[in-house]
């Protein structure tokens, strides 16, 4: 934002990666992407990523879009939770964890 305020050639866009496909290549001279998670995001309990501090279970990189992890867990089936925990968490006990979550929410 600060760079865009100083240089009229800079445009800041807050979008998902899917929006890149809609940009005409001739309109770009360069691109800067924020591709990762930072330590402050993990350390800030309010962001919902921390496993060290109590806070809301959010886990969204952009908290203005989509639903939080807590909202998803409230409606996800055991099969859906198992798939996500196994595929994204690479957890071999995914089914047992999903079943335990299901028991706790009832």
From first to last of its 106 residues, the chain has per-residue pLDDT tens of 788 888 888 888 878 778 888 888 787 788 888 777 888 888 888 888 877 888 898 988 888 889 999 999 999 999 999 999 999 999 999 999 999 999 999 8
What is the pLDDT at residue 33?
A: 80
**The dihedral of CA 85, 92, 95, 100: what is its sign?**
negative
User: What is the reported pTM?
Assistant: 0.65
What is the pLDDT at residue 104?
A: 95
**The dihedral of CA 45, 51, 54, 58: what is its sign?**
positive
Distance set, CA 29 to CA 11, 22, 61 (Å) = 11, 15, 26
| Angle between helix 94-105 and helix 78-89 axes, rounded to 10 deg | 140
What is the pLDDT at residue 11?
A: 82
Kindly state the DSSP code that residue 80 receives in the 8-state scheme: H
pLDDT 10s digits, 10-32:
888 878 778 888 888 787 788 88
């Amino acid at each position: 934002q600060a760079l865009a305020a100083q240089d009229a050639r800079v445009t800041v866009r807050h979008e998902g990666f899917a929006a890149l496909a809609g940009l005409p290549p001739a309109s770009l001279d360069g691109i800067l992407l924020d591709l990762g998670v930072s330590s402050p995001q993990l350390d800030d309990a309010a962001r919902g990523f921390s496993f060290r501090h109590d806070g809301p279970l959010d886990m969204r990189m952009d908290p203005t879009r989509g639903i939080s992890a807590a909202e998803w867990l409230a409606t996800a089936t055991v099969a859906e939770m198992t798939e996500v925990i196994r595929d994204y968490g690479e957890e071999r006990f995914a089914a047992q964890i999903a079943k335990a979550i299901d028991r706790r929410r009832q």
